Structure 1
Amino acid sequence: MMTKHEAIIQYIESLDVGTKISVRQIAKDLEVSEGTAYRAIKEAEVQGLVSSIERVGTVRIERKRKENFERLTFAELLKIVDGQVLGGRNGLHKSLNKFFIGAMQLDAMLRYIEPGSLLIVGNRYQAHKLALQHGTAVLITGGFDTSDEVKQLADQLSLPIISCGYDTFTVASMINRAIYDQLIKKEIMTVEDILVPSEQVTTLRPTQTVEDWQKLVQESKHIRFPVIDEENRLVGIVTSRDMVGAQIDTPIHRVMTKQPITITPQTSVASASHVMLWEGIEMLPIVDSNKVMLGIVTRQDLLKAQQFIQRQPQKGETFVNLIMSGFEEEESDGCICFKGKVTPQMTNPYGNLSIGICTTLLTEAARRYLRYAKRCDMVPEDVFIYFIKPIQIDATIHICTNILEMSRKFAKLEVVIKNDGKIMGKAILTAQLLQR
């Protein structure tokens, strides 16, 4: 039987994109308490079904798909440029597909104007009007305003027209930076991408009995089940270990493990794997801020995700990628090493390799060595670094990794950084292994 919480979520999903949502209205329409409606709306926000927009309220939005994550909504753009809405406030939930700068005549501008785009321009009223008439939103730079006619047109078409105090070049750079950051986030797989949703998970109620658990084991061939209350909140987990010595009529709430370890949808796959390995568990429930269960993830799900991550194409460069981009792989004395040059960006104010960059180099060299040589990844636990001599700017360095100890789950590594054959620093690193 569907709970009130699930019914509200289903109702929100059925609403048209752009529909305004309020706690009081949902409570009235579905005949539930305002507290129940509020918790359901918050979960819908976590799931990407609604968004709270300043001075507008909570609005039903289109759930972002992972492959289109680099697209921005106009509401997100509003926050990025610290702007104000002059008109078309009801269209802030829409996504922009591309943007272009209107530094051209109106006739030439027509080639670039298309629905779902954004025109970045100054105080050119005719350009504002032309863009709106062709389904394009407008971002006015320099803090300028627009005419009342344009504002009314924006409201009629639900196309945002936004004004900000930055110049055109700065605004374009800020938007590019935001898109680039989201491309990097797109690569970082989270449990949200692989979770088994709650509606597909077999669960138990606290009032059910051990006999009910036994029936579920026979039907599903699983031994671990989340325990949820009427509001779909996670209250415990039961496994075969909890059932040892229990009578068949014993209520689940007496034998279940209370306050189980949980994660959020935004937890990375690597972090979830570390928790699962460290705690020695086979299943992790995924909950929102109100402890409402959104789904589960198992050890098998995480292992498959780790393998998929390695096959993902590179879309953006993180700080570590930028540092390691100047290093090439080579073989020395039978082991894999990395060779590169100390660039000005990697130094401290005294012209030597900075401690933070050196730590990053040593750790990342160990990680890449394990990936190439042992086909596994790692989660560092302890790193002991010994800085012997300073490394100057423009110095060519070699970073080599040796395995001191290694088991199925753990490894102890020695990473040495050299310059002109002399040892400049050394790290002893202990890590948990994640098989690929």
Structure 2
Amino acid sequence: MKLNPTVAGVTTARIQPENQRGGAPGARTKPGKTNTEPVVSIDSIMSRRVVTVGFDDTLATAKSIFDEAKFHHLLVVEHGELHGVVSDRDLLRAISPFIGSTVESARDVNTLNKRVHQIMSRKPITLRPEAEIADAVELLLAHKISCIPIVDEQFRPVGIVSWRDILRALASQNPAAGQAAGT
């Protein structure tokens, strides 16, 4: 796999699509392997529910989204193109720990007025939908990240894959692991 910088400043892994050879939806086989060893594509496990924010949205906006939702990453999009990622941990590091407490001050509340572009991770590592789970695992480990935005040819987000999605997919392939994980 080769990482290529792009005009938009987003780094994406260029994965050449392989021939479909039947099997489960999203499953392919590697060249030289039989149909009994499917390779699952990112497209089949990615979350298609992508929530985005803009560069100039406030941290208060991001906080309210995280407070209401059950996910940990927001994609930063401008003119339809992906430019960054904000995690719930990025947000917690950027705002005052005293917000919502009895000792909260105006200075603490003002940390919510910062803009998303001030704390986002820029030039996110991305994959295309036809990439394999192994490609995602390699990127997650190599770059010490917890999610990978999935983009189309114009770098528009079409999904997101987290390490939890990968674990769920692997657990579903192994019934004993799935029961232990509560799936």
Band the TM-score falls in, shorter-chain normalisation: 0.5 to 0.7
> Letter of the aligned partner of 2:40 in structure 1?
M
- Name the CA shift for 1:299/1:264 in 2 (closer, same or farther; >3 Å): same
Considering fraction of residues, name the structure with more helix: 1
Shift of 1:201: 2.1
Question: Does structure 1 residue 223 correspond to structure 2 residue 87?
Answer: no
Shift of 1:194: 0.7
Structure 2 counterparts to residues 177-326 of structure 1, below 5 A: 184=35, 187-197=38-48, 200-231=49-80, 233-243=81-91, 244-246=93-95, 247-309=111-173
Considering fraction of residues, name the structure with more strand: 1
Contact 2:25 2:44 in 1 (8 A): no
Q: 2 CA distance for matches of 1:282 and 1:294?
A: 17
Q: 2 CA distance for matches of 1:248 and 1:69?
A: 41
Shift of 1:281: 2.1
Contact 1:234 1:293 in 2 (8 A): yes
What count of residue pairs does the alignment treat as equivalent?
136
Structure 2 counterparts to residues 34-433 of structure 1, below 5 A: 67=24, 184=35, 187-197=38-48, 200-231=49-80, 233-243=81-91, 244-246=93-95, 247-309=111-173
Bigger Cα Rg: 1
- Name the CA shift for 1:194/1:68 in 2 (closer, same or farther; >3 Å): closer
Shift of 1:204: 1.3
Q: Percent identity?
A: 24
Shift of 1:288: 2.0
1:279-329 C-alpha deviation (Å, 9 max, x unpaired): 222211111232111100111110122234457xxxxxxxxxxxxxxxxxx
1:314-345 C-alpha deviation (Å, 9 max, x unpaired): xxxxxxxxxxxxxxxxxxxxxxxxxxxxxxxx
- Higher relative contact order, structure no. (Cα contacts within 8 Å, ≥ 6 residues apart): 2
SS in 1 for 2:40: coil
SS in 2 for 1:218: helix
Q: 2 CA distance for matches of 1:303 and 1:189?
A: 13
> Letter of the aligned partner of 1:237 in structure 2?
V
Instruction: Output the aligned Cα RMSD.
Output: 3.1
Shift of 1:69: 8.2
Contact 2:146 2:163 in 1 (8 A): yes
Q: 2 CA distance for matches of 1:210 and 1:190?
A: 34
> Letter of the aligned partner of 1:229 in structure 2?
E
Contact 1:235 1:259 in 2 (8 A): yes
Shift of 1:254: 2.1
Shift of 1:207: 2.1
Contact 1:269 1:306 in 2 (8 A): no
- Name the CA shift for 1:184/1:238 in 2 (closer, same or farther; >3 Å): same
> Letter of the aligned partner of 1:190 in structure 2?
S
Contact 2:26 2:40 in 1 (8 A): no
1:101-154 C-alpha deviation (Å, 9 max, x unpaired): xxxxxxxxxxxxxxxxxxxxxxxxxxxxxxxxxxxxxxxxxxxxxxxxxxxxxx
> Letter of the aligned partner of 2:146 in structure 1?
E
> Letter of the aligned partner of 2:118 in structure 1?
R
* Alignment gaps of 5+ in structure 1: 1-64, 71-179, 312-374, 376-436
* Alignment gaps of 5+ in structure 2: 1-21, 96-110, 178-183
SS in 1 for 2:72: coil
- Name the CA shift for 1:261/1:214 in 2 (closer, same or farther; >3 Å): same
Q: Give the TM-score normalised by structure 1.
A: 0.28
> Letter of the aligned partner of 1:218 in structure 2?
D
Shift of 1:186: 8.2
SS in 2 for 1:201: coil
- Name the CA shift for 1:69/1:292 in 2 (closer, same or farther; >3 Å): closer
Q: 2 CA distance for matches of 1:230 and 1:185?
A: 43
SS in 2 for 1:273: helix
1:205-237 C-alpha deviation (Å, 9 max, x unpaired): 222110101101110143321111232x21100
> Letter of the aligned partner of 2:46 in structure 1?
L
Q: 1:405: which partner in 2?
A: none
Contact 2:84 2:123 in 1 (8 A): yes
